[in-house]
Amino acid sequence: MSTFTETLVHGKGGAFKPTSLTPMQGLTLKYVVFGLVYYGFAAIEGMLLRINAVSPQDLLYPDRYYAMLTAHPLVGIFGSSYLLVFGAFTFLVPFLMKKPLWSYKLANWTLWLIVVGVFTFWFDGFLTHYAPLYTLYWPLPADFDQFEPVAGAIFITGVALVMVGTLFFVLNVLKTITYTPAGWTRQPAGRLLGDALGLTTLGKFFTGRLRKDVEQEHLVSLPVAAIARGSVDVLFNAGIILFSGVLILVYMVAEIFGGSLETTKIDALLYKNWYWWGLDLVADGLVLIFVAGTWYLLAQLITGREVFMARWARFALGLELVVSWTVWSHHLLSDQSQPAALKMGSGEFVTAFELITQGLAFFITLATLWMARPLTMTNPLKFLLGGLLGFALAVPAGIMQADVGLNRILHNTQWVVGPHVHVAVLVGLTMTLYAAVYFLLPILTNGAELYSQRLANVHFWCHLIGGIGMGAFMGMAGLQGMLRRTIYYEDEFLPYMVLAALSGALLLVAFVVFLYNIVMTLGLQGAVGLFKRSSTPPSVLVPGMDVAIQPVPAPGAPAGA
């Protein structure tokens, strides 16, 4: 066997031994594998959409194009981001809390429900071209002149499976924080939950104790607090999407059985408010909070120090309780019947608070790194900086479009989806996730060494330049009037679209390089080995670290960082 084949099959130096994995390591790696597979789906779809924006293809006739446009963000967010984030947090919460995951079985259910659910709606969209977009503006999802009700029902069922898996994840996270493992002294569940959700810190703020220049002591570490806080938004988001899905399913089932329901029974604007309230908990609440939490965790792990001004970081997480739940109306600034008070209050000024909460997380992370100089430019550090830059670019772009005056000429243009959405998701979120993946890789694989640092560098630069470039050229087209959900047939914005497609190709190259590097690190045999059962109990997080035994000092003592 040649060296190449040997490495391809067994990984670099044969160092990765799937039989050595604990159940929690194996489970987390399965989340990562499926998350990356679905990232590949979204990346290939994205590339096809980019090509179609350069020159409309016969293969991508409108029905298929819009079906792909519907599947692309849903696969990207639910199939990739959710799995990567949920997988990492399912491992990290017990790791940081030093107690077993509340339910290993439930974590398995979460994984498979999401994997199956995503495939269900993706495959349904592929076959039937059900295409109401992720926005589902009423009554489009129930427009049976354009879509088959059975196709829609299968699609919505797929999304519902993802949401049920999501609810299981939230339950597992919050229970892990608050429950008392067998044989432990009783845990203060209420205090743990209050601390995790930032309520303790909010209380200190309003009693004037937060301003003192000493860090407060807490039951729950800052990253776990961020995970818990983001999980609340995930919970509400899943509830709203499930409710909306059931509503749409009622119309579909009625149609299938020949009893058409009046779509006018549901107020389209009220539905839009309701839906965006829930959806924005992912876009603005969940992403920003989970990302902030991951930044803090990475900064701590990279520097080995407490996060700078940690009490204010906690306060910002608590403040997001107000911000992320009242921010949705910036999506309705171009809806003329939306009350002006909501446009200005929620749409403009609450949204502007996200500049503060995210800017605060940005500053705290950079300051933590700065005070620990000199640092080695490792993969986690460089991807973390890329993620920070991504949000530094994307959040102000979002604040600009969340302005009544500017929204009149930006809404639904490529500006929204380029410099804001794609830069936030691809550069900000994904590079942060890559930082976590590079950091966790040796921990989850019991010391497997990365196949090639040079390829990791290629991955970094191609992803960073590709992501920012694509967002920038889409944004330039948007400022020239190019819409985000429209096919242009006359080469109206050709130069921008060619450059955006080239940038997109760079992103795809980055992903292929990364995937190749990971496969050569772990080996194909290693990847298959992930699905073998482990004999160790789930309370063993990594070999030699069984968290079933209560640590000393006893709970109630500060968790520190």
Torsions phi, psi of 99, nearest 5? -150, 155
Q: Which is nearer to other proteins, 64 or 175 (CB)?
A: 64
Stretch that binds other proteins, among 111-119, 172-180, 234-242, 333-341 (CB under 8 A): 333-341
Query: Distance between CA atoms of 314 and 321, rounded to whole angstroms?
Result: 11
Give me the residue label for tokens 């920003």: 288
Look up residue 483 and give its DSSP letter: B
Query: Distance between CA atoms of 279 and 70, rounded to whole angstroms?
Result: 15
Minimum distance from residue 384 beta carbon to other proteins (Å): 10
Would you give the binding string for other proteins spanning residues 123-142, x where CB under 8 A is met? ------x-xxx-x-xxxx--
Query: Distance between CA atoms of 84 and 44, rounded to whole angstroms?
Result: 18
- C-alpha distances in angstroms, 87 versus 172, 382, 398? 12, 22, 28
Which residues, 155 to 194, sit near other proteins by CB under 8 A?
none
Would you give the binding string for other proteins spanning residues 337-376, x where CB under 8 A is met? x--x--xx---xx--xx-xx--xx--xx-xx-xxxxxxxx
How many residues form the binding site for other proteins (CB under 8 A)? Answer: 90
Stretch that binds other proteins, among 57-65, 220-228, 282-290, 517-525 (CB under 8 A): 57-65
Minimum distance from residue 58 beta carbon to other proteins (Å): 14
Minimum distance from residue 411 beta carbon to other proteins (Å): 6
CB atoms within 10 A of CB 337: 7
Q: Which is nearer to other proteins, 100 or 141 (CB)?
A: 141
Minimum distance from residue 412 beta carbon to other proteins (Å): 5
Query: Distance between CA atoms of 550 and 534, rounded to whole angstroms?
Result: 23
- Are the CB atoms for 427 and 471 separated by under 8 Å? yes
- Are the CB atoms for 134 and 278 separated by under 8 Å? no
Which residues, 278 to 317, sit near other proteins by CB under 8 A?
308-309, 312
Which residues, 490 to 509, sit near other proteins by CB under 8 A?
492-493
143 counts as binding other proteins under rule CB under 8 A: yes
CB atoms within 10 A of CB 374: 5
269 counts as binding other proteins under rule CB under 8 A: yes
- Are the CB atoms for 33 and 528 separated by under 8 Å? no
Look up residue 547 and give its DSSP letter: T
Query: Distance between CA atoms of 213 and 311, rounded to whole angstroms?
Result: 9
Which residues, 498 to 557, sit near other proteins by CB under 8 A?
none
Q: Which is nearer to other proteins, 220 or 310 (CB)?
A: 310
Positive or negative torsion for Cα 105, 108, 112, 113: positive
Which residues, 375 to 414, sit near other proteins by CB under 8 A?
375-377, 381-382, 385, 388-389, 392-393, 396-397, 399-400, 403-406, 408-409, 411-413
Q: Which is nearer to other proteins, 318 or 475 (CB)?
A: 475
Give me the residue label for tokens 């044989």: 183
Give me the residue label for tokens 């497997």: 448
Helix axes 310-323, 351-370, angle to 10 degrees: 160
Residue 5 burial by Cβ neighbours in a 10 Å radius (0-12, 13-18, 19+):
exposed
Which residues, 454 to 473, sit near other proteins by CB under 8 A?
472
Minimum distance from residue 325 beta carbon to other proteins (Å): 18
Which residues, 73 to 112, sit near other proteins by CB under 8 A?
none
Q: Which is nearer to other proteins, 23 or 139 (CB)?
A: 139
Backbone Cα Rg of the chain? 23
- C-alpha distances in angstroms, 147 versus 166, 240, 475? 27, 23, 31
Minimum distance from residue 500 beta carbon to other proteins (Å): 16
Which residues, 194 to 223, sit near other proteins by CB under 8 A?
213
Stretch that binds other proteins, among 6-14, 18-26, 267-275, 428-436 (CB under 8 A): 267-275
Identified binder of other proteins from the candidate list 108, 334, 525, 536, rule CB under 8 A:
334
438 counts as binding other proteins under rule CB under 8 A: no
Minimum distance from residue 100 beta carbon to other proteins (Å): 37
Minimum distance from residue 525 beta carbon to other proteins (Å): 37
146 counts as binding other proteins under rule CB under 8 A: yes
**Longest Cα pair distance anywhere in the chain, in angstroms?**
71
Q: Distance from CA of residue 27 to its chain's centroid?
A: 18
Q: Which is nearer to other proteins, 127 or 545 (CB)?
A: 127
SS3 label, residue 551: coil
Q: Which is nearer to other proteins, 487 or 530 (CB)?
A: 487
Q: Which is nearer to other proteins, 352 or 519 (CB)?
A: 352
Q: Quick one: which of 362, 364, 345 has its CA closest to 306? A: 364
Minimum distance from residue 145 beta carbon to other proteins (Å): 8
